[in-house]
Amino acid sequence: MFGTKKRRIAILIMMVFMFGIIAGCGREAPTNQQPAPTAGAINVGLNVELSGGVASYGTNARDGAMLAIEQVNAAGGVLGQQLNPIVRDCKSLPDEAMSVSAALVDENIVAQIGPLTSGNVAGSTPIMMENKIPLIAPAATATNVTVDDKTGATRDYIFRVCFIDPFQGTLMAQFAADNLKVKTAVIYGDTSSDYAKGLADYFKQTFTEKGGKILGTEGFVKDDRDFRATLTKIKGLGPEFIYVPGYYQEVAPLIAQAREQGITVPIGGPDGWDSPDMVTVAKAEALNNTYFTNHYSSQDTDPKVVAFVEAFKTKYNKEPDGFAALGYDSVQIMVQGLNDAQAADPVKLAGALAQIKNFEGITGNMTIDTNHNPVKAGVIIEFKDGKQTMNSRIQP
Amino acid sequence: MQTKKIKWTRILLEAAFLVVLFSLVQYSISTHMLSQYYQINLTSMCINIILAVSLSLINGFTGQLSLGHAGFMAVGAYTAVIMTTKLDYPFLAALVGALFAAGLAGFVIGVPTLRLKGDYLAIATLALGEIIRVVLQNIDYVNGPAGISGIPKLTTWAWLFGGVVLTLLVVVNLVNSSYGRAIISVREDEIAAELMGINTTKYKVLAFVIGAGFAGLAGALYGHYFYIIKPETFNFLKSFDILVMVVLGGLGSTTGAVIAAIFITILTAALQPFPEIRMIIYALILIVVMIYRPQGLMGNKEFSRQTLGRIWGGRQ
């Protein structure tokens, strides 16, 4: 009996403790909900992938965005206020992206830059829509990022500064047929990614329309490392061009193995190839005669691009890639939006962003269309002895 | 009579505790005292508890090293999301459907693989978990690798709380039943258990099916909160995350699994403001815990009223 009584007391105490903990949480929360806005600063959230599968994209975009923020602040800020970046890692996971967005909303941000991949942007989308805060996606290329594919309605608060997936497939097909003048091609793409699947479809469509012939379609999946069997088969088909939509982790060893097997024809791909790892893994020689579509080239002689590349190199001691440029443009287009709106207000900013015309970005002149996609040109990058060189600019 | 009376008081007290806990959180959510950010992390916490407790039944109590838990979570998530978004079933039906679909998947996978031991079983479950993911990647009906997005947010605190309580009720009572004794005997010494007339395969499959079923429930709750599900989310790294919780909490302790799930969720959230060094700190903390508590936070002990009583009244 005595033991039971003690137990009851203990349980009661535990309940009191629990009550205390929960009540404590409750008191803490409201302060987070309405923090006093820092005087003279506009909070900008950076929700980017700094760890996990696509950490390389997030890190570079973060660097580009931070450079832009630094430059804007050095030039006197926006609307007389300084930009205050709040950087958070979403671990390349959509649920974490959602949690990070909610944390950023609590920080009273005016806009969120990122995440980079379409899936992670989707995770963040409901929070941004619910709180009516614009999300500017630097590199989310899936069509349904800015448009709800069930209703067909444009998402009011979701924007992007990159072109959409289909465009890159079309672009590479145009380049292969018009510039390289090839007649036959094989598609050897990542079948585990929707990004690659979409690119393959549009490449096929445009290439066929241009009078080319697709000799075969092969596939690999994420984390594949040995491509020799399929490459032997492709070699037997004897195409003049191989289109490899995929990410650099698989593409780099794939190209190395293709060259090993004596496949010398040009190989093309999308911006998923854009990583310094391409050269370190595949080696310079194997990469000769390979091309990929991208948002920008650091070799571009446009004075704006030259100035950006110079500033980026000085600050980070590395070459800015496409993600860095897109991160930079995301911040700059937001600044343009803030200036147009003449207020550091998320809702007004979204309205202004939707109206942006001829914004001069590093990655090209952009006009935001009704689906919140930028209308802009793309570039073809060629690997020459391990160096990324700009081959041409392709207008859609 | 005496014992029965005490038991009733206990049950009532426990129920009262649960009701108070539930209402307090519900109250803080409906009055917006808990911001969206805390709500999201609370959701992750509940889902992680269900996952960790269900895996702890397989790994901790039955001693079968399964690395395919994320696969069952995926089966549950996809089943439930298809049921609600494409077939218009109510959420409850979808949750039950997810529970049974994942349980069925656990049965189909468990029967052949649970005859394997140790490393072989680990590899087989890892592979089968990956097979589930790759299969989902190649089904156009569920949009392949892009996954299903635009899932309505049906998971509420009430469903989460119910899910956690149900999981704990089933797992704790199973472990304390005669079935549970048989399950633990399989872990302690499979040959000895077999000699005692225990059908080891049967008990292993039983634990596996129940564990898988609750992983499916967690997946269903996950899908209806986080707006998007894609196969990539349920890769083997997710399985490892859950395994880390179970090992950190202590193999063979439900309390440990719950504490570790809460601890890891809070740790992940708390490290968000330090993006650059986040994963390093996370790894360091895990290493330090494993060095100083190799048996996990709780070992194989449970936190119970008896423990509380001992703490309160000294040695009894």
State the smallest CA–CA distance between residue B110 and chain A in angstroms: 26
Q: Exposure string (b/e) for A113-145, b if CB count within 10 Å is 16 or more?
A: bbbbbbbbbbbbbbbbbebebbbbbbbbbbebb
Which residues are bridge partners to A305 per DSSP?
A: none
State whether residue B3 sits within 8 Å of chain A by CB.
no
Which of the listed residues A294, A314, A330 is the one where a domain comes to its end? A294
Beta-carbon contacts of A9 under 8 Å, excluding residues fewer than 6 positions away, are B312
pLDDT bucket at A32, cuts 50 / 70 / 90:
very low
Cβ neighbours of B39 in A, within 8 Å:
102
Give the pLDDT of residue A16.
Answer: 57
Kindly report, residue by residue over B154-213, the tens digit of the pLDDT. 999 999 999 999 999 999 999 999 999 999 999 999 899 999 999 999 999 999 999 999
pLDDT at A350: 95
Q: What mean pLDDT, rounded, does chain A reach? A: 87
- pLDDT, mean of residues A322-331: 93
**Cα dihedral value B203, B209, B211, B217, nearest 10:** -160
Which residues in chain A have Cβ-Cβ distances shorter than 8 Å to B311?
10
Query: Would you place residue A141 in the very low, low, confident or very high pLDDT band (cuts 50, 70, 90)?
Result: confident
Pairing assessment for the beta strands A241-243 and A184-190 based on DSSP bridges = parallel
| Residue that the structure tokens 């992680």 belong to | B48
Looking at the DSSP bridge assignments, the partners of residue A268 are A243, A291
In a domain, B288, yes or no: yes
Q: Does A20 fall in a domain?
A: no
Best to test chain A binding among B8, B135, B155, B227 (most A CBs inside 10 Å) = B227
What integer pLDDT is reported at residue B259 of this predicted model?
93
Distance between start and end Cα atoms, chain B: 23
Question: Hey, are the CB atoms on A98 and B40 less than 8 Å from each other?
Answer: yes
Percent of chain B exceeding pLDDT 90 equals: 61
Contact A224/B at CB under 8 A? no
* Out of B40, B275, B305, closest to residue A102 by CB: B40
Confidence at A9, pLDDT banded by 50, 70, 90: low
Which pLDDT tens digit goes with each residue over B13-29?
A: 888 989 999 999 999 88
Span B129-133, average pLDDT: 92
The reported pLDDT for the residue numbered B308 is 57
pLDDT at A345 over 70: yes
CB contact under 8 A, B230 and A25: no
Q: Sort out which chain B residues have CB atoms less than 8 A from A221's CB and list them.
A: 134, 137
Count CA atoms within 13 Å of residue A350 on its CB side: 21
**Chain B contact set for A87 (CB, 8 A):** 275
Q: Say yes or no: A21 contacts chain B, CB-CB below 8 A.
A: no
Q: Are both A178 and A270 inside the same structural domain?
A: yes
Identify whether residues A255 and A282 lie together within a single domain. Answer: yes
Candidates B138, B147, B305; nearest CB to A7: B305
Look at the alpha carbons of B293, B294, B297, B300 in this order and tell me if their dihedral is positive or negative.
negative
Please give the Cα distance from A50 to A58 (Å, whole number).
Answer: 5
CB–CB contact A15 B17 (8 Å): yes
Mean pLDDT within B214-240: 93
pLDDT at residue number B183: 93
What's the structural domain count of chain B? 1
pLDDT at A35: 44
Strands (E), chain A: 41-48, 82-89, 111-113, 135-137, 158-160, 184-190, 213-220, 241-243, 267-269, 290-294, 359-361, 364-368, 374-375, 378-384, 387-394
Quick one: A264 exposed, middle or buried, by C-beta within 10 A (0-12, 13-18, 19+)? Answer: exposed
Q: Which of residues 109-138 of B touch A (CB under 8 A)?
A: 134, 137-138
Q: Is A84 on the interface with B (CB under 8 A)?
A: no
Hey, is the C-beta of A186 within 8 angstroms of any chain B C-beta?
Answer: no
Shortest Cα distance, chain B CAs vs residue A391, angstroms = 31
B13 touches chain A (CB under 8 A): yes
Report the domain count for chain A.
2
Residue A45 lies in a domain: yes
The pLDDT, as a whole number, for residue B203 is 93
Mean pLDDT over A158-170 rounds to 87
- Is the CB of A149 inside 8 Å of chain B's CB atoms? yes
Most confident region among A150-154, B5-9, B225-229 by mean pLDDT: B225-229
Query: Per-residue pLDDT for A386 more than 90?
Result: no
In a domain, B163, yes or no: yes
| Least confident among A172-176, A330-334, B141-145, B184-188 | B141-145
Domain with A84 in it: 41-163+302-378
Assign A34 a pLDDT band (cuts: 50, 70, 90).
very low
Residue A98: closest CA among chain B residues belongs to which residue? B226
* Among candidate residues B162, B170, B51, the one with its CA nearest the CA of residue B102: B51
Rounded mean pLDDT, A261-269:
93
Residues A306, A290: one domain? no
Alpha-helical regions (H) of chain B? 2-30, 36-55, 69-81, 91-113, 118-137, 157-176, 178-188, 190-195, 200-223, 236-249, 254-270, 278-292, 305-313
**Which chain A residues are closer than 8 Å to B20 by Cβ?**
15, 18-19
Instruction: Evaluate whether A196 touches A220 at the Cβ level (below 8 Å).
Output: no
Does B41 sit within 8 Å of A99, measured CB to CB? yes
Give percent above pLDDT 70 in chain B: 94
Going by pLDDT thresholds of 50, 70 and 90, the confidence category of residue A24 is very low
H helix and E strand count, chain A: 13, 15
pLDDT at residue B281, rounded to an integer? 84
* Domain end call among A275, A294, A313: A294
Smallest Cβ–Cβ distance between A14 and the set B37, B222, B308 belongs to B308
A chain contacts of residue B270, beta-carbon cutoff 8 Å:
none
Q: Which domain holds residue B266?
A: 2-27+52-313
What was the pLDDT predicted at A23?
Answer: 45
Whether B308 and A11 lie within 8 Å, measured CB to CB: yes
Q: What are phi and psi of B149, to 5 degrees?
A: -120, 170
In a domain, B47, yes or no: no
Mutate to test the interface with B, among A6, A34, A199 (most CBs of B within 10 A): A6
Would the pLDDT of A155 be above 80? yes
Which CATH number covers residue A235? Answer: 3.40.50.2300
pLDDT tens per residue, range A45-88: 999 998 888 888 999 999 999 999 999 999 999 999 999 999 99
Residue B294 lies in a domain: yes
What value does the mean pLDDT take over residues A339-349? Answer: 93
State whether A70 and A127 are in the same domain: yes
Choose one of A294, A315, A341: the last residue of a domain: A294
- Kindly state whether residue A35 falls inside one of the protein's structural domains: no
Q: Which amino acid is at A83?
A: L
- Tell me the shortest Cα–Cα distance from B227 to chain A, in angstroms: 6
Contact assignment for B36 to A127 by CB distance below 8 Å = yes
Rounded mean pLDDT, A123-129: 93
Q: For residue A1, is it within any domain?
A: no
pLDDT at A10 over 70: no
- Residue ranges of B 39-68 with Cβ closer than 8 A to chain A: 39-41, 44
Distance in Å, alpha carbon of A281 to nearest chain B alpha carbon:
24
CB contact under 8 A, A191 and B137: yes
The token duo for B238 is 């997710």
Q: Specify whether the backbone of B144 is left (phi greater than 0), alpha (psi in -120 to 50) or beta.
A: left
Complex prediction ipTM: 0.85
Statement to judge: residues A199 and A310 lie in one domain: no
Tell me the two tokens of residue A93.
């996971």
Same domain, A311 and A229: no
**Is A127 in the same domain as A199?**
no
Asked whether residue A315 carries a pLDDT value surpassing 90, the answer given is yes
Average pLDDT in chain B: 89
Q: Which pLDDT value is given to residue A334?
A: 95
pLDDT at residue A37 is higher than 50? no
Rounded distance, CA A159 to CA A354, Å? 8
CB distance A132 to A162 below 8 Å: no
Per the domain annotation, does B245 fall within a domain? yes
* Closest by Cβ to A221, choosing from B134, B279, B316: B134
Please list every residue in chain B whose beta carbon sits closer than 8 Å to the beta carbon of residue A89: 272, 275-276, 278
Residues B255-275: what's their mean pLDDT?
A: 89
B275 and A87 in contact by Cβ < 8 A? Answer: yes
